Amino acid sequence: MSRDILVLGYGNPGRGDDALGPLLVEKLDLSEQKKHRSRVCFQLQPEQIFDLENHRQILFADASLSAPSPFCFTELTANCEISFSTHTMSPETVLYLFETLLQRSPPPCFLLSIRGQQFTLGKGLSAAAEKHLDAAFIFATELLRKPTLTHWRGKVTPAPLSRPSGSPQESSR
């Protein structure tokens, strides 16, 4: 198995559609074409910078209330987002910490934001989220079959101008 590509899914499986990131990683891990390294966590933490080391490209996967259906695929850049807690750490902040603490640029990183609808504690995955997960799985499988930076950049969808404050991508952690 190549360690060049890391798929990092994050979210709380006990909060309905917030499980989309970890579920995508689980599906990819079970696929016959597994050619990546994977990692799952409830929320992003500063120590995730060490997960990014020694990889050529990173695919973050998360649920999002603000993503278009079924998903949005964006390239990430380092950005220090001020927060009162690491409970809401974004992938961009992880990249910022990577640059700051390790004194070098992180590998190219992308975010697959899978549209979720309900994030209630104790609820299962919604029917719409199941369909979005299936579409994201097909998309991610295609990315992993052709893991070149040029190919991935060609698949990027227009990112929203900004994430609304309080969106699950920011506050469900």
Neighbour-count burial of 78, counting CB atoms closer than 10 A to its CB (0-12 exposed, 13-18 middle, 19+ buried): middle
Q: What is the pLDDT along the chain (173 residues), one digit of tens a residue?
A: 446 999 999 999 999 999 999 999 999 999 877 789 999 999 999 999 999 999 999 999 999 999 999 999 999 999 987 766 555 789 999 999 999 999 999 999 999 999 999 999 989 999 999 999 999 999 999 999 999 999 999 999 965 555 544 445 544 43
Q: What are the sequence ranges of the domains in the chain?
A: 5-171
Strands 57-64 and 5-10, how do they pair?
parallel
Tell me the backbone φ, ψ of residue 74, rounded to 5 degrees: -130, 155
Q: Which CATH architecture has domain 5-171?
A: 3-Layer(aba) Sandwich (3.40)
Instruction: State pTM to two decimals.
Output: 0.87
Q: Measure the CA–CA gap between 41 and 156, rounded to whole angstroms.
A: 24
The pLDDT of residue 29 = 95
Quick one: DSSP state of residue 168?
Answer: H
Tokens of 4: 């060049």
Query: Checking phi first, is residue 103 left (phi over 0); if not, alpha (psi -120 to 50) or beta?
Result: left
